């Protein structure tokens, strides 16, 4: 991968902290430049960090569908300038 390329992972989640934690523990965080998490459910009790603090956590207070959450993540990823974007769900 070229030096000026950036990797962003967008994770959508909804009231499934157990599944989210399992997914989080498998991410190769040293290779990811930015992580965007969109949580459409209740707030999670644990705190999730990256090595370089490049996590954007969006906590919705209103219910939205999965397409809305993904599109929001994609807009943010484009705004911060990424060349590779991966969409994931925790289930």
pLDDT in tens, 17-65: 999 999 999 999 988 999 999 998 889 988 888 777 789 999 988 888 8
The secondary element (H helix, E strand) that includes residue 26 is helix 17-26
Nearest to 20 by CA among 53, 76, 59: 59
pLDDT at 71: 94
Distance CA 80, CA 50 (A): 17
Predicted model pTM = 0.89
Q: Provide the 3-class DSSP secondary structure of residue 1.
A: coil
Asked if residue 87 has pLDDT above 70, the reply is yes
């Amino acid at each position: 991968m070229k030096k000026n390329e950036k990797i962003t992972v967008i994770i959508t989640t909804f009231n499934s902290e157990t599944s989210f934690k399992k997914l989080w523990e498998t991410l190769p965080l040293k290779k990811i430049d930015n992580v965007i998490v969109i949580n459409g459910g209740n707030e999670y009790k644990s705190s999730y960090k990256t090595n370089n603090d490049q996590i954007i956590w969006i906590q919705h207070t209103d219910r939205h569908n999965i397409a809305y959450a993904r599109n929001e993540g994609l807009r943010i990823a484009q705004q911060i300038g990424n060349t590779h974007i991966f969409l994931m769900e925790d289930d």
